[in-house]
């Protein structure tokens, strides 16, 4: 299936029910921590978001990463997913650091992203999520929040933090669930989504078709 067709059948339909522009009523946290304990540092920053529709082939450093990404994809079971790996979203997360290339590889119910920097070439970890939310930082690598589809009425938010010891992004183990339909009541309502997460900026011009 072509990239054009998969965009019509996959990203747009999932984004309509999973991205943060939906009506968010209740939070159900699957962890015991407060709903935004890991998000406090994001409150004072201007957040931006991107997804598969923001990735471009022209942003993918083919010479440096093509063989590496192809090998990574070959080690995973992607029989139910659409394969990419030839495009990227290039973002300077740390104002004093290198550009980070977010590379979507296998996309189905979620997208599996590989993170790399080049010159020197270095893996910065991997993230699972339909869309990613973060910010430009002047004090190291910022946290990243990934959205995911749980079911028709529920979207999840998971947090990734940069581990300075391994020099990679790692999932913090959280998974916060939000009901996005007015008629569905959450089993354990604990409040609404934090205000600072409601309307992240779409940073890249190619994201103009992204539905938030």
| 92 compared with 154, residue with greater pLDDT | 92
β-pair partners for 82: 107
Looking at the predicted structure, is the pLDDT value of residue 7 above 60?
no
pLDDT mean over 120-136:
96
| 193 compared with 128, residue with greater pLDDT | 128
Separation between Cα atoms, residue 212 and residue 30, nearest integer Å: 24
Label residue 154 by pLDDT band (50, 70, 90): confident
Q: What is the pLDDT of residues 42-56, one digit of tens each?
A: 988 999 999 999 999
Looking at the predicted structure, is the pLDDT value of residue 127 above 60?
yes
Can you give the residue ranges of every domain in the chain?
Answer: 3-207
Label residue 210 by pLDDT band (50, 70, 90): low
Q: What is the value of pTM for the model shown?
A: 0.78
Return the closest-CA partner of residue 65 out of 75, 53, 54, 57: 57
| 112 compared with 183, residue with greater pLDDT | 112
pLDDT above 90 coverage of the chain, percent: 51
Separation between Cα atoms, residue 15 and residue 22, nearest integer Å: 9
* β-pair type (89-91, 100-107): antiparallel
Cβ-Cβ contacts under 8 Å for 155 (sequence gap 6 or more): 17, 18, 19, 22, 147, 148, 149, 177, 178, 180
Helices and strands counted in the chain (H then E): 3, 13
Give 49-115 as a 3 state SS string. EEEHHHCEHHHCCHHHHHHHHHHHHHCCCCCCCEECCCCEEEECCECCCCCEEEEEEEECCCEEEEE
Q: What is the pLDDT of residues 136-151, one digit of tens each?
A: 999 999 999 998 888 7
Rank 14-23, 148-157, 186-195 by mean pLDDT and report only the highest: 148-157
pLDDT above 70 coverage of the chain, percent: 73
| 168 compared with 205, residue with greater pLDDT | 168
Tokens of 133: 């939310």
**How far is CA 55 from each of CA 5, 7, 97, 142, 205, rounded to the nearest angstrom?**
16, 12, 21, 20, 11
Label residue 79 by pLDDT band (50, 70, 90): confident
- Whether the Cβ atoms of residue 170 and residue 163 lie closer than 8 Å to each other: yes
Looking at the predicted structure, is the pLDDT value of residue 194 above 80?
no
Tokens of 143: 């946290």
18: DSSP letter: H
Question: What burial letters (b/e) apply to 25-52, b meaning 16+ CB within 10 Å?
Answer: bbbbbeeeeebbebbeebeeeebbbbbb
| 149 compared with 190, residue with greater pLDDT | 149
Looking at the predicted structure, is the pLDDT value of residue 26 above 50?
no
Number of C-beta neighbours around residue 135 at 10 A: 18
Q: 211 preceded by cis ω (within 30°)?
A: no
Average pLDDT, the chain: 79
Supply the pLDDT for residue 38.
80
Supply the pLDDT for residue 133.
94
């Amino acid at each position: 299936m072509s990239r054009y067709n998969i965009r019509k059948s996959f990203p747009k339909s999932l984004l309509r029910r999973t991205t943060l522009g939906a009506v968010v009523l209740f939070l159900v946290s699957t962890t015991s921590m407060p709903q935004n304990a890991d998000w406090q540092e994001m409150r004072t920053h201007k957040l931006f978001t991107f997804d598969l529709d923001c990735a471009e082939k022209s942003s993918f450093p083919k010479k440096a990463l093509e063989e590496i990404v192809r090998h990574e994809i070959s080690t995973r079971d992607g029989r139910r997913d659409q394969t990419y790996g030839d495009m990227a979203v290039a973002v300077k997360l740390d104002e004093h650091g290198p550009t980070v290339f977010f590379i979507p590889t296998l996309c189905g119910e979620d997208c599996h992203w590989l993170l790399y920097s080049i010159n020197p070439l270095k893996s910065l970890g991997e993230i699972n999520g339909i869309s990613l939310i973060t910010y430009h930082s002047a004090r190291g690598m910022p946290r990243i929040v990934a959205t995911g589809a749980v079911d028709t009425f529920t979207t999840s938010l998971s947090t990734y933090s940069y581990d300075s010891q391994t020099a990679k992004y790692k999932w913090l183990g959280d998974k916060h669930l939000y009901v996005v339909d007015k008629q569905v009541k959450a089993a354990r309502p604990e409040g609404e989504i934090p205000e600072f997460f409601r309307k992240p900026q779409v940073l890249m011009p190619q994201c103009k078709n992204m539905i938030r």
